[in-house]
C-alpha cells in the first residue's frame, strides 16, 4: 500500500459523514426504548412548605407530578357520527368511524386528550412522546425519534388520525390523506391560553363535543385555580420573582437552544410566577444560545428536560459543557430544575399537575438531591 | 494488399453485449420495482403487487393485497417512491454521463463537482423564504436555477483550451461545495425549526414521503433531460477527440457544451428538487457501464439511465429495510458505496493515464 | 490551375509578436504542398488558419472561393479534414470506433451507407487493421498517429491538412503515410503537409512553401526552393542539398565538418 493518496475531499467528507450518521441512526434507534413510563409520586404544592427566599436555595430539583394517572371525564362515550369539522388549516374533514384512533403530536398532548375523553380503548398506536402507562404498550408509529412512519401508520389501519404540524415529515400526513384516511389537523400552538381550545378541537373531530366541553372546562378551571394557588406562594414583588430560562440540551454534539416566545415555555414560566428571561431579551421560537446573551440575562433558575439533562451528563456535565450557564446565578447555585420531556411542555389535560410539580420544585424543593 | 475486406468486427460481439446489458438492466428494474413495492413494514406479496396494478388498470387478474390498507400502502406510499427512485437514479446517472462527456473526464459527477449542492441551495432558499411564485413547481425551478448557476461556474473555472484538468475540476468542486455549504448553513440559521429539519434532510438525501404530485413534477423534467441526452449522445463521442478535432468533424463544440450543461442542470434539478443530495450515482453507474460495454455514448447514455434507476431502487430498498423501523438517509448509503469507489477510481485513472491527464 | 484552398494576405498577431506577417498561399486540386520552416516560423498557426480554426487578424482564407470562417461547421467538415499533432482521447474507445468518428460529417447523407467499407479501407491503408479492437490508450505513439490518420482518411475530404503526421512514425510508416497522401492528391484532393524532415518534403511534395518568422521565403517546386543557400539562411545553420546518386531525388543534410563543430 502506498503511503500518499490524493484523496477527493468530497469523498473523505462523505465517508466521515456516513460514519457519524450511522452512529446517529443507531443512537436514535435505541433512544426509543429509553422512554419508559411517566414518573409519578411527587409532592403537591398544597402539602409542601414553601421557602422563605426561593432565590437563596442551592441545588437542583426534579419536578415530578403527583399523580400521573389519567382521569377520563366519561367512560366509553358514544360519538355522534359522522362528524364534519374544519380543522386548524381550514380543511373540511368528515370523520365517519372512530373505532381506531391515532392521535399524534410531538408533545403527547393530543393522545392524552383522547384518553381523557374516555376513548382510550380505541387508540391503536402512539407517538414517542406519549409514554404514560395507559398507552405505553401500544405500537409506536414514529421511527427515528419523532419521524412519522407512513407504513407503520397504515399497518395499524386507523380510521381517523388527529395530529398537528409538530411531527413530520408533512408528506407522510398527506400520504395518509391520499390513502383515504381522514386526518384532522389541530392547532400546534401549546400554551395556557388554548388548552381548552385544543381539547374542544379534538373532541369535535371525534364526535364527542359534550364530553369535550366537560373536559375543557374542567382543565381550564383546574389550571386557573392552580395559577392562583402558585401566585399565592410565589414572591409578590416582580423584582423578587425568579428569573427562569428554559434550555433545550441534547447530547455531546453541543446542541443547545433557548426556548423563547411562542414556544410554550414563556406561558409556562409566566404561569409559575417566574420572569421569562427569553421574552425579556426578545427571543423568538427556539434558537441556539449565545453565551454572552445568557450571561447578561442572569437567570436564577434553568429549566431543562430530564432526558436532555441526562444526555449531557447531568448537572456537572451541563455546567461543564455550557460555561455560560456556569457563570449565571443559576449555574453558581446549581439551580437546575428538570422535568420529564413528555410532560413539561405538553399543555394537555394534565397541565395543572405539571404546574403544581414545577411550583414545588421551584418554591418548595425540599432536601437537596 | 487485401482485396476482400472483412467487415470490421465492431458490430457482432459489441452489439450482443449491449443488447444483453439493456435486457438485463430492464429486467432487473422490473423485478426490483415489484419486489421493492412489496417489501417493507406492511408486507405485500409480489403477486399481490402485480395484482394491484392490474386491478387499477381494469384487469381483474391476480390477487389483491390481503391487508386492508395494502392497496393504499402501495398506491400512496410505495409506488410513488419506487417511481421516484427510478426517475432520480436515472437522472443522476445520465447527468453524470453527460458531465463526463462534456468535461472529457471520468471523474466528473454533478455531486463531486458541486452542482447538486448548488441546486440544494436553490431549493432550500424556497423552503426557508417560503417562496411560491410557481406553485408546486417553485422548488424545482429554483433548484434548476441554482444548479445552472453552479454548473456555469464550474465550467468557466475548470476549462482551458477545451481540456479540463482533473485538479482544477476537483478544486472547483471543493470551492463550490464550500460556498454552497456556507449558504446552506446561513439558511439553516435563518429558518424556523421545520425549515431546518428540511434542510438537514436535503444534505442527507431521502425519498421518504414521496407523493404522486412530486412525481408529476419530476417525471417530465427528468424525461426531457434524458431525451435531450440521448439526442446529443453521438456528438459527445466526438468530443473525446478534443475540442479542435471535434470541430473539424463538424461539431459546434460551444453549443454542444451549453446544451449539455443545461441538460445537466435540468437533470440535477429533477433529482434534487424533492429528494435532496444523493451523490456518487453519476460517478459509479456510467463508469460501470463503460467497463461493461465501452465508452460509446449512444449506448452509455440510455444504459446509464437504466443502470441508475436500478441502483437507486436497490439503495432505497436497503435504506428502508436495513434497520427496522428506520429510514436511513439514502445519500449516506450511496456515499458509503460511492466514496470508496471514488478512491479506487482515482487510483485507477492515475495509473492508466500515467499521472493526472 | 484554380486554387481550391487559398490564403490571401493573412496576418496573425499575438500581442506585439507577428506570428504570420502577410502570408499568401494557394493549393490547387491534385497538389501536395509541403509546409516547412524552423521552429516558431508559424507553420502550425498557418495550418490552423487554413483549416478555419483561427480567425486571421487580417486577410482571409477561401475554400472553393467561399470564406472558411463563414462556412457552416458541418459543411466544412465534409470538405476538409485536419490531422493535428496531438493524439489524445478522453475515453478508451477502440481503434475502429475512433476511425469511425471520421465518418461523422456524413451522417444523414447518402454516403453514410458506405461507412463500414470506408472505415475498413482506412484501417487497412494506415496499417492498423490488426489493431481494430484494441483500446486507443494502449497503443504506441506511432500506432496512435496512424489511427488518427486513418480517421482523417475516413472523412473522405477534398482537402487534407496534416500537421507533422510523420513525427512519431518509423521509416516504413512515414513512407507509407506520405505515399497515401500523395495518392489522395493524385486522385484530386488538395493536401497540405507540415514537415520537419526536408528530404521527405523534397521527395513527396509537388510544391514546397518555406515559412520563416511568419513570412513566405520560398514557394515553388522542391528543386527550385530547397537550395542550400535559402535553407542555410532560413534555418540559421549550414545546410547542403545534394542529389542522391543514381536517382532523381534531393537529399537535405546539415553540414557537419570537424572545423565547424570546433567553432561551435
Digit-coded pLDDT (tens) for C28-83:
999 999 999 999 899 999 999 999 999 999 999 999 989 999 999 999 999 999 99
Contact A183, A158 (CB under 8 A): no
Chain B: closest CA distance from residue A157 (Å): 6
Residues of chain A whose pLDDT is less than 70?
1-39, 252-255, 367-369
pLDDT of residue A4: 31
pLDDT of residue A26: 38
Q: CB within 8 A of C94, min separation 6: which ones?
A: B10, B294, C132, C133, C134, C135, C136
Is the pLDDT confidence value at B240 over 80?
A: yes
pLDDT of residue A277: 86
To the nearest whole number, what is the mean pLDDT of chain C?
Answer: 92
C35 vs B133, higher pLDDT: C35
Predicted TM-score (pTM) of the model is 0.81
Contact A12, B350 (CB under 8 A): no
* Residue A240: DSSP 8-state: G
pLDDT digits (tens, 9 = 90+) for B176-225: 989 998 998 899 888 877 778 778 777 788 888 888 988 999 999 999 99
Residues of A whose CB is below 8 A from B186: none
B211 has a chain A CB within 8 A of its CB: yes
pLDDT of residue B347: 83
Instruction: Give the whole-number percent of chain B exceeding pLDDT 90.
Output: 35
C198-201: long-range contacts at Cβ-Cβ below 8 A with a sequence spacing of 24 or more?
C198/C36, C198/C226, C198/C231, C198/C239, C198/C252, C199/C250, C199/C251, C199/C252, C200/C34, C200/C166, C200/C174, C201/C34, C201/C36, C201/C226
ipTM of model: 0.91
Instruction: Give the whole-number percent of chain B exceeding pLDDT 70.
Output: 92
Distance CA A177, CA C254 (A): 91
pLDDT of residue A46: 78
Q: For residue A25, give the nearest of B323, B340, B342 by CB distance.
A: B323
pLDDT of residue A1: 26
Cβ–Cβ gap B248/C104 under 8 Å: no
Cβ–Cβ gap B7/C120 under 8 Å: yes
To the nearest whole number, what is the mean pLDDT of chain B?
Answer: 85
Cβ–Cβ gap B76/A150 under 8 Å: yes
C51 has a chain B CB within 8 A of its CB: yes
Mean pLDDT in residue range B330-357: 76
Q: CB within 8 A of A184, min separation 6: which ones?
A: A85, A87, A93, A95, A160, A161, A162, A163, A201, A205
- Give the CA distances from residue A82 to residues A95, A96, A160, C135, in Å, rounded to whole numbers and listed in that order: 6, 4, 12, 74
Cβ–Cβ gap A10/B177 under 8 Å: yes
B323 has a chain A CB within 8 A of its CB: yes
Inter-chain contacts counted by CB atoms under 8 A, chains B and C:
89
Q: Whose grid coordinates read 487510483?
A: B347
Phi, psi of B312 (to 5 degrees): -70, -35
Chains B and A touch (3+ CB pairs under 8 A): yes
Is the pLDDT confidence value at B248 over 90?
A: yes
B332 has a chain A CB within 8 A of its CB: yes
pLDDT digits (tens, 9 = 90+) for A259-284: 877 778 888 888 888 888 888 877 77
Chain B: closest CA distance from residue A114 (Å): 24
Residue of chain B with shortest Cα separation from C88: B241
To the nearest whole number, what is the mean pLDDT of chain A?
Answer: 81
Chain B: closest CA distance from residue A342 (Å): 19
Distance CA B215, CA B210 (A): 8
Cell of C90: 478522453
Look at residues C250, A168, C26 and name the one whose alpha carbon lies nearest to residue B327.
A168
pLDDT of residue B337: 85
Name the helix (H) or strand (E) containing C83.
strand C80-83
Contact B261, B139 (CB under 8 A): no
Look at residues C211, C192, C203 and name the one whose alpha carbon lies nearest to residue C250.
C203
Question: Strand A83-86 and strand C32-36: pairing?
Answer: unpaired
C33 has a chain B CB within 8 A of its CB: no
Amino acid at each position: 500500500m502506498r503511503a500518499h493518496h490524493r484523496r477527493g475531499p468530497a469523498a473523505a467528507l462523505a465517508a466521515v459523514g456516513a460514519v457519524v450518521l450511522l452512529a446517529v441512526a443507531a443512537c436514535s434507534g435505541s433512544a426509543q426504548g429509553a422512554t419508559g413510563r411517566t414518573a409519578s409520586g411527587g409532592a403537591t404544592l398544597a402539602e409542601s412548605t414553601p421557602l422563605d427566599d426561593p432565590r437563596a436555595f442551592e441545588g437542583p430539583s426534579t419536578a415530578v407530578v403527583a399523580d400521573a394517572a389519567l382521569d377520563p371525564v366519561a367512560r366509553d362515550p358514544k360519538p355522534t357520527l359522522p362528524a364534519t369539522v374544519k380543522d386548524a388549516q381550514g380543511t373540511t374533514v368528515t370523520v365517519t368511524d372512530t373505532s381506531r384512533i391515532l392521535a399524534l403530536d410531538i408533545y403527547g398532548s393530543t393522545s392524552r386528550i383522547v384518553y381523557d375523553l374516555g376513548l382510550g380503548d380505541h387508540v391503536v398506536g402512539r407517538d414517542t412522546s406519549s409514554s404514560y402507562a395507559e398507552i405505553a404498550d401500544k405500537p409506536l408509529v414514529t421511527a427515528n425519534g419523532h419521524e412519522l412512519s407512513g407504513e407503520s401508520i397504515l399497518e395499524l389501519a386507523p380510521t381517523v388520525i388527529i395530529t398537528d404540524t409538530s411531527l413530520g415529515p408533512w408528506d407522510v400526513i398527506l400520504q395518509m390523506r391520499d390513502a383515504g384516511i381522514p386526518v384532522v389537523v389541530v392547532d400546534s400552538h401549546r400554551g395556557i391560553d388554548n388548552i381548552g381550545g385544543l381539547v374542544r378541537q379534538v373532541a369535535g373531530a371525534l364526535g364527542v363535543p359534550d364530553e369535550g366541553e366537560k373536559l375543557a372546562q374542567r382543565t381550564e378551571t383546574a389550571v386557573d385555580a392552580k395559577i392562583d394557588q402558585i401566585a399565592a406562594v410565589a414572591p409578590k414583588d416582580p423584582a423578587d420573582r425568579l428569573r427562569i430560562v428554559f434550555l433545550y440540551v441534547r447530547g455531546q454534539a453541543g446542541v443547545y437552544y433557548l426556548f423563547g416566545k411562542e414556544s410554550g415555555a414563556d406561558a409556562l414560566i409566566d404561569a409559575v410566577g417566574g420572569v421569562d428571561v427569553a421574552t425579556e431579551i426578545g427571543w423568538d421560537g427556539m434558537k441556539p444560545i449565545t453565551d454572552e446573551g445568557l450571561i447578561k440575562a442572569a437567570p436564577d433558575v434553568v429549566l431543562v428536560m430530564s432526558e436532555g439533562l441526562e444526555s449531557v451528563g447531568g448537572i456537572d456535565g451541563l455546567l461543564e459543557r455550557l460555561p455560560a450557564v456556569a457563570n449565571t446565578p443559576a449555574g453558581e447555585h446549581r439551580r437546575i430544575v428538570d422535568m420529564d420531556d413528555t410532560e413539561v411542555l405538553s399543555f394537555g389535560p394534565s397541565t395543572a399537575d405539571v404546574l403544581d410539580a414545577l411550583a414545588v420544585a421551584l418554591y418548595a424543593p425540599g432536601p437537596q438531591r | 494488399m487485401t482485396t476482400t475486406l472483412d467487415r470490421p468486427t465492431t458490430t457482432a460481439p459489441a452489439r450482443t453485449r449491449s443488447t444483453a446489458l439493456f435486457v438485463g438492466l430492464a429486467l432487473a428494474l422490473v423485478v426490483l420495482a415489484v419486489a421493492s413495492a412489496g417489501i417493507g413494514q406492511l408486507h405485500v406479496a409480489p403477486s399481490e403487487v402485480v395484482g394491484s396494478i392490474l386491478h387499477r388498470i381494469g384487469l381483474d387478474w391476480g390477487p389483491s393485497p390481503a391487508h386492508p390498507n395494502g392497496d393504499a400502502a402501495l398506491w400512496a406510499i410505495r409506488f410513488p417512491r419506487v417511481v421516484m427512485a427510478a426517475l432520480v437514479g436515472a437522472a443522476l446517472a445520465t447527468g453524470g454521463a453527460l458531465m463526463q462527456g462534456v468535461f472529457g473526464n471520468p471523474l466528473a459527477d454533478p455531486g463531486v463537482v458541486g452542482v447538486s449542492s448548488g441546486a440544494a441551495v436553490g431549493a432550500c432558499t424556497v423552503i426557508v423564504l417560503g417562496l411560491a411564485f410557481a406553485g408546486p413547481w417553485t422548488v424545482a425551478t429554483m433548484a434548476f436555477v441554482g444548479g445552472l448557476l453552479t454548473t456555469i461556474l464550474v465550467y468557466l473555472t475548470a476549462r482551458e483550451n477545451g481540456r479540463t484538468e482533473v485538479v482544477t475540476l476537483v478544486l472547483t468542486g471543493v470551492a463550490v461545495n464550500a460556498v454552497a455549504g456556507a449558504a446552506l448553513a446561513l439558511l439553516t440559521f435563518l429558518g424556523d425549526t421545520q425549515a431546518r429539519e428540511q434542510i438537514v434532510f436535503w444534505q442527507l438525501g431521502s425519498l421518504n414521503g414521496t407523493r404522486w404530485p412530486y412525481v408529476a413534477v419530476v417525471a417530465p423534467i427528468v424525461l426531457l433531460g434524458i431525451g435531450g441526452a440521448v439526442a446529443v449522445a453521438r456528438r459527445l463521442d466526438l468530443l473525446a477527440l478534443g475540442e479542435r478535432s471535434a470541430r473539424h468533424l463538424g461539431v459546434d463544440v460551444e453549443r454542444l457544451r451549453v446544451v449539455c450543461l443545461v441538460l445537466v442542470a435540468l437533470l440535477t434539478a429533477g433529482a434534487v428538487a424533492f429528494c435532496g443530495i444523493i451523490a456518487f450515482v453519476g460517478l459509479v453507474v456510467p463508469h460501470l457501464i463503460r467497463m461493461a460495454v465501452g465508452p460509446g455514448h449512444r449506448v452509455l447514455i440510455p444504459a446509464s439511465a437504466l443502470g441508475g434507476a436500478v441502483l437507486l431502487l436497490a439503495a432505497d430498498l436497503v435504506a428502508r429495510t436495513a434497520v427496522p423501523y428506520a429510514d436511513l438517509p439514502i445519500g449516506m448509503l450511496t456515499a458509503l458505496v460511492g466514496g470508496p469507489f471514488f478512491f479506487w477510481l482515482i487510483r485507477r485513472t492515475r495509473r492508466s493515464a500515467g499521472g493526472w491527464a | 490551375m484554380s486554387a481550391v484552398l487559398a490564403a490571401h494576405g493573412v496576418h496573425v498577431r499575438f500581442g506585439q509578436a507577428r506570428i504570420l506577417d502577410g502570408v499568401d498561399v494557394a493549393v490547387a486540386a491534385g497538389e501536395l504542398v509541403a509546409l516547412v520552416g524552423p521552429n516558431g516560423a508559424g507553420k502550425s498557426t498557418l495550418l490552423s488558419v487554413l483549416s478555419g480554426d483561427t480567425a486571421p487578424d487580417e486577410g482571409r482564407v477561401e475554400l472553393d472561393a467561399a470564406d472558411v470562417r463563414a462556412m457552416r461547421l458541418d459543411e466544412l467538415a465534409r470538405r476538409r479534414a485536419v490531422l493535428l499533432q496531438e493524439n489524445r482521447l478522453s475515453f478508451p474507445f477502440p481503434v475502429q470506433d475512433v476511425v469511425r468518428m471520421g465518418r461523422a460529417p456524413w451522417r444523414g447523407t447518402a454516403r453514410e451507407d458506405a461507412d463500414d467499407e470506408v472505415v475498413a479501407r482506412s484501417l487497412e491503408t494506415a496499417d492498423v487493421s490488426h489493431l481494430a479492437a484494441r483500446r486507443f490508450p494502449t497503443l504506441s505513439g506511432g500506432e496512435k498517429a496512424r489511427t488518427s490518420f486513418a480517421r482523417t482518411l475516413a472523412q473522405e475530404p477534398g482537402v487534407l491538412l496534416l500537421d507533422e503526421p510523420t513525427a512519431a512514425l518509423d521509416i516504413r510508416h512515414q513512407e507509407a503515410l506520405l505515399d497515401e497522401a500523395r495518392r489522395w492528391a493524385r486522385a484530386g484532393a488538395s493536401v497540405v503537409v507540415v514537415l520537419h524532415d526536408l528530404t521527405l518534403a523534397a521527395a513527396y511534395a509537388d510544391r514546397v512553401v518555406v515559412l520563416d518568422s511568419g513570412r513566405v521565403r520560398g514557394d515553388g517546386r522542391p528543386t527550385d526552393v530547397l537550395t542550400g543557400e535559402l535553407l542555410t539562411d532560413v534555418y540559421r545553420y549550414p545546410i547542403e542539398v545534394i542529389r542522391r546518386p543514381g536517382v532523381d531525388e534531393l537529399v537535405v543534410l546539415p553540414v557537419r565538418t570537424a572545423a565547424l563543430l570546433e567553432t561551435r
